[in-house]
Amino acid sequence: MSDWVKHLDEENKAFEAAYMERITAQATAPKTKMIDLRAELIKVYRTVVKKLEAYCLFENDEVIELCKHLNKLIAAYNKELNRRKNKTKKKE
């Protein structure tokens, strides 16, 4: 029984150390919110898309394929956003 108690004590100490390390890291983490980063990323993305659309006027096959790929990513991103919104609504 004492071996088991020692083992539990060691595991608890390891957990506490890891927990404190994580708490310390979170305390020193930047206060940037993901929603702010996402908004900035969307602005940058739209700028890139506008440039690609202008480039597509020349009907470059590589750019057209890239646009198709980006459209697939957009659809997946929008689907994920809708899933998150629906999940949040269900919680309310």
pLDDT, one tens digit per residue, over 3-28 is 888 888 899 999 999 999 998 888 88
With beta carbons less than 8 A apart as the criterion, state whether 55 and 44 touch.
Answer: no
Q: Report the pLDDT value the prediction gives residue 26, as an integer from 0 to 100.
A: 81
SS3 1: coil
Tokens of residue 22, six digits: 């994580």
With beta carbons less than 8 A apart as the criterion, state whether 54 and 67 touch.
Answer: no
Global pTM?
A: 0.43
